[in-house]
A = this chain, B = another copy of it.
């Protein structure tokens, strides 16, 4: 039983209700047999669903919980009303108590982040957690963070995010020294926000400690896959993520119109249907569903609230891989390899002065 990955599921989180989570778990179990689940939520809704999936039922436990955090609840409200007694909180508590290796929820992102921070606490040396996205690029998948946990942030935070993102890349891609780039408006050292430039100086000093610092990257470097980890604060990161999703949908819309424009294009689409189906699958946002909360004493995966069972299965797969690869240990190791920020600052100041 020791090599079993135990996933704690907020079965009530999401726009649609527990069906997506249970059905998704049944699909995930087919791909990764050594998984067990704790479902938190309303027993009367969850148990009949488990009866539909006979393979899932024996590896599942249901913990009853009446209180459900609404999708539009403010984080502070959610914390006040749902602390200790909501399905979201209970899912996190199972990780804290060591009953589960990872928690997952499709609920309200802000509430989940607030509760996770409160329940699991930030790791030592990390001031604020981040949300990382696994981003498909022309080269391979990369990590982009923060895509929405923070708004604004100083240089120290960007450095923290680099360490967190690099640990995630090591866990995901089996690389010893992933490359890290800071998102900026130009690749030259003179351009951009002061905080980003300051973070660049700090990372330059620490390159080699669990990652290679590449320098600044621009928006189009994300899709090219120029680096393994793209670091930015959550305001820009969230907007960038949604812009890219929107652009992909827009181009897919153009393609759909083009291929149904006339008889000949429909014939063409018929012949190319296999390739086009593969393309559709490649661009399906459900296959990369799941944001990883980084910087807390426990792994939490946020599934998209509006996804279906296929998307939920992907998020559960991500949760499984994060637990299996001992993400938290990799992050601790990354933090210990990193020279403490407090020591590097006097050195930076000294540089400006004549020797």
Residues of A within 8 A of B (CB): 74, 137-138, 148, 151-152, 183-185, 190-193, 218-224, 232, 234-236, 238-255, 258-259, 261-262, 264-265, 267-276, 278-279, 282-283
Contact = CB atoms under 8 A, between A and B. Distances in A.
A279 B255 contact: yes
Contact of A185 (B184, B193, B234): B234
Contacts of A267: 268, 271-272
Contacts of A258: 272, 275-276, 278-279, 282
A74 B189 CA distance: 11
A195 B223 CA distance: 29
Contact of A74 (B190, B222, B242, B243): B190
Determine how many copies of this chain the complex contains. 2
Given A151-B192, A185-B151, A239-B236, A259 B272 contact: yes
Contacts of A275: 258-259, 261-262, 264-265, 268
Contacts of A238: 185, 218-219
Given A148-B185, A152-B193, A258-B275, A223 B250 contact: yes
Nearest to A262: B275
Given A254-B283, A255-B279, A245 B220 contact: yes
A261 B274 CA distance: 10
- Give me the 9 closest cross-chain CB pairs, A-B, nearest first: A268-B272, A219-B242, A220-B246, A268-B271, A223-B246, A265-B275, A219-B243, A223-B250, A258-B279
